[in-house]
Amino acid sequence: MIVPRFWSEAKVQEAWNGKMVTLRRFGWSDQSEEAAGELAQARALQAFEDFKQGGKVSRIEKKVSYNGADGVPIREEIISQHSDSVITRNLYGARCLNTPDVLFGDVDYAQGPGFWHFLFVAPALLALGAGAGWQFELKWKWVLMAGFLIAGFLTWPGMKILSAIQTILFGNQEKRVLRALQAFLERNPNWLVSAYRTPAGLRLLGLHALFDPAGPEAAGFFDCLGVDSLYRSMCQRQRCFRARVSAKPWRIGIQAHLKPRPGIWPIQEDLIPQRKLWVDGYESEAAKFAACEYVGDFGRGSVNAKAHAVKTLHDQLCQTGRNLPLA
């Protein structure tokens, strides 16, 4: 895991086969801007060599903070560092805990069909009924169209009823995820996992051992519990696990975006006061909310000291146990 303090970008421009070719690459460093510039230049020169050898080389690298970054470290403001765990501010302003080897995984619940689902489905069914009626020259085409339209009306409440029946028979989504966790732990008795309730689902934290974010153990756990596929991909790319530890702004009544936009770190010096004004307002409101709520520990494994230290930091930052609303 790398979360650099300094960033730079270098450009290499040379003629090749009668055309001018320009390649740009980022560089980064924890020591200085000069070291970041040297790495950027070296990466740009290497990219040009790869290009001349016929390699598939992108002309530029995307300037992104976390999601979508491939081969480039996390590009976010560092708020604080605790041993090798780093607290950063993400693209929309929330604080995130990044750790190279303490397993985190969020399981987001499936959202049931809403009224907007009906608004899309009903016209589609109506068109299908009309098409079928004219295609087969049915005498009762208008009846067929009405039938399809009624089916559209039934889709939304019908799905709601099916969801309610599923909850009665198998429990709510939290219970189903915890049952899946218990089944996994029966097969892996040396594991110990803390579970937390989030606004969108459950967060799981491995307490018994340290993990390679790109390793098979983490991947197997994510598979069994249904951890978000994009998060899994970013764990592998960034070689770190990650957990949001403060509220999402829109959940606490803050509609204004983090300034400036898009605000990829680092930002221009003259824009820092604008950013600080937004952050101060956000932190004042975020202090009234918890990012997650502790549910319990599951499994019979022993506690790893480093994982426990990260859990303590996580719980403090998330404000668990304070009876605050989740956001």
Q: What is the pLDDT of residue 62?
A: 87
Local mean pLDDT, 10-residue blocks, the chain (327 residues): 92 92 95 97 96 92 78 92 97 97 95 52 53 51 56 53 46 89 98 98 98 97 94 93 98 94 88 96 98 98 99 99 97
Check whether residue 54 and residue 202 sit in a common domain: no
Lookup result for tokens 């339209």: 149
| Domain-located, residue 12 | yes
| Domain-located, residue 225 | yes
Q: What is the pLDDT of residue 55?
A: 87
How distant, in Å, are the alpha carbons of 73, 75, 226, 265 from that of 262?
18, 12, 31, 9
- For the record, the structure tokens of 107 come out as 């399981």
Residue numbers of the domain that contains 21: 6-61
Domains contained in the chain, number: 2
| Domain-located, residue 256 | yes
Check whether residue 46 and residue 94 sit in a common domain: no
